[in-house]
Structure 1
Amino acid sequence: MDVRSLAFRTDLALLRWGGSQIEDHGSYLVVRTPGNPTFHWGNFTLLARPPAPADMDELLAASDARFPDSRHRTFGVDGVHDQSADLAPLVRAGLALNRGAVMTAQAVHEPPRPDRTAQYRPLVTDDDWAQRVALAVACNDEISPPEYLVFAHRKAAYERGLVEAGHGAWWGAFVDGRLASAMGLFRASPGLARFQSVQTHPDLRGRGLAGTLVHRVSQYGFAELDAGTLVMVADPDYSAIRVYRSVGFTDSEHQSQVEQFDRYA
């Protein structure tokens, strides 16, 4: 399957680096991450095109058969345009639409209000990565804390593995020794690097930390990862997208996904 979406191409590249299994069935891809089975976007089906309404039951049954132990259903749809209307049948079947704004930058500049107080550096120590898990838990409001903590530890191990394999780095903004904001940037292919999981602690938002960190990490990507283009996927309806635009990222494509957190609910 020839994937057109810049977002999904970079997603798949990083999943491969992290050890995920990707099966090509021609009109769809099946992605599995055995080390983290509750990772929604590490265990999903990527469709070449939106499904026809008549195919809904077969599509859902096939997904359940592929992931028999999973409580979630996740589908990506390849393409570069907003496909919300075409995915309405899946929404009516109980899945939630997840639209992404695919943003790119070939150069960046400081945000309007850069922060000069935090320490900006890559995560290195065991304590850094433990704080990475704690930050992810503090930013999560969708899954119960005990269940999410298991996922967060697995996800951090995957991220640290990418770093230690030389594919990129996970950076943080530290305020008084506390990890306040964090994000990853990894080489997806020659000249192309992808941001991952931009998060800022709820108690420390609005201080310019994320914008300053995006700027610093972007400079790292251009200089150390030999990237000519940086890729960021953001929620078009969330205020953080203004932060990315403020340092030079522009909207390039749309990413279309649908998901159901608990298929038994």
Structure 2
Amino acid sequence: MHVSSLGFQTDLALLTSSGSVVEDRGTHLVVRSPENPSYFWGNFILLAQPPVLGGEKEVVGAFHTEFPLADHVSIGIDTADLSEESRAAFEAAGLVVDVATVLSASRVNLPRKVEGEVREVTSDEDWEGRARLSQQLYPRTSEDTFMTYARQKNAQERRLVDAGRGKRFGAFVDDTIVSTAGVFVTEDGVARYQSVETHPDHRRKGLAAAVVHAAGQHALDHLDVRRLVIVADTDGEAIGIYRRLGFNDVERQLMMEKRSGEWATLDS
């Protein structure tokens, strides 16, 4: 199956580079991250096209067949076009339909100066702090459950770092990481951002812009990157930060998700 979406192309490139497995079924891909089964967008189905109207339940059933133990459903479609009838059918099956915005830039504007230190995430303590930051953003899921996921996610990302594909940067205040962004090469000349996160108590202070700039400048200066790619919630606050840094809208990325069990309490 040929994937045309820049968002999914870069997603898949980073997943396979960090240990995930992609199975091509012709009409769809099955993406698995065996070491991190609770990673929603490391364990998903990607359809080439929306199903024929009425086939939405079959698609959800196919996910459960592929991932019988999963506490989630994650389905992507390699097109941003979804009819209102099909959207309604997926929503009736319990899925939240999200159309994110994919943006790109060839340079990153210099942000304003911030308090704290912006630097690479390097030590075991730094990476554990990054996992703790993620956990604090989702306090309604138990610490044990979330930290298992976050540490496994760190392990996948550190494989990319060890392979020389990129870095994660953090903004540290009083030696605590409070904002972070990673960026990794997906193919020659292209790098994709991963997991831009900022603690709620430290938002609107320019820290997210600072770490996105630091990561992007590293890729441009040291990884022979000519194009940076980032994905944002279309209606979220972060997209404004990215646009001010010089990123421009490229396309929409269609993703649908349902969370159950303990993960049902996790905010989007």
Whether these two folds match at TM > 0.5 is yes
1:118 aligned to 100, 107, 116, which one?
116
Q: Secondary structure at the match of 2:224?
A: coil
**Counterpart AA for 1:17:** S
Tell me, in whole angstroms, the C-alpha distance in 1 between the residues paired with 2:57 and 2:205: 47
Instruction: Report the equivalent of 2:195.
Output: 197
Instruction: Report the equivalent of 1:42.
Output: 42
Tell me, in whole angstroms, the C-alpha distance in 1 between the residues paired with 2:222 and 2:52: 45
Instruction: Give the superposed CA RMSD.
Output: 1.7
**Counterpart AA for 2:82:** Q
Instruction: Report the equivalent of 1:55.
Output: 55
Q: 1:229 to 1:84 in 2, by over 3 A?
A: farther
Tell me, in whole angstroms, the C-alpha distance in 1 between the residues paired with 2:153 and 2:234: 24
Q: 1:192 to 1:84 in 2, by over 3 A?
A: farther
Deviation for aligned residue 1:263: 7.8
Tell me, in whole angstroms, the C-alpha distance in 2 between the residues paired with 1:82 and 1:237: 18
**Counterpart AA for 1:53:** L
TM-score (norm 2): 0.93
Q: Secondary structure at the match of 1:53?
A: coil
Instruction: Report the equivalent of 1:135.
Output: 133
Tell me, in whole angstroms, the C-alpha distance in 1 between the residues paired with 2:261 and 2:204: 36
141-150 or 204-213, which deviates more: 141-150
Instruction: Report the equivalent of 1:21.
Output: 21
Instruction: Report the equivalent of 1:176.
Output: 174
Can you list the C-alpha shifts for 1:59-103, whole angstroms capped at 9, x where unaligned?
Answer: 222211111111211100002x45363433211211111221101
State the aligned residue count: 262
**Counterpart AA for 1:72:** H
Tell me, in whole angstroms, the C-alpha distance in 2 between the residues paired with 1:184 and 1:84: 34
**Counterpart AA for 1:83:** L
Can you list the C-alpha shifts for 1:18-69, whole angstroms capped at 9, x where unaligned?
Answer: 1101001111000000000011000000000111232123222221111111
Q: 1:166 to 1:230 in 2, by over 3 A?
A: same
Structure 1 unmatched ranges of 5 or more: none
Tell me, in whole angstroms, the C-alpha distance in 2 between the residues paired with 1:88 and 1:62: 19
Tell me, in whole angstroms, the C-alpha distance in 2 between the residues paired with 1:239 and 1:65: 36
Q: Secondary structure at the match of 2:74?
A: strand
Q: Secondary structure at the match of 1:127?
A: helix
Can you list the C-alpha shifts for 1:105-162, whole angstroms capped at 9, x where unaligned?
Answer: 0112123xx1343211111111101101111111225634332121111111111121
Q: Secondary structure at the match of 2:63?
A: helix
Deviation for aligned residue 1:220: 0.7
Deviation for aligned residue 1:232: 0.3
Tell me, in whole angstroms, the C-alpha distance in 2 between the residues paired with 1:170 and 1:194: 12
Instruction: Report the equivalent of 1:244.
Output: 242
TM-score (norm 1): 0.94
**Counterpart AA for 2:35:** G
Structure 2 unmatched ranges of 5 or more: none
Does structure 1 conserve the Cα–Cα contact (< 8 Å) formed by 2:45 and 2:76?
yes
Instruction: Report the equivalent of 2:78.
Output: 78
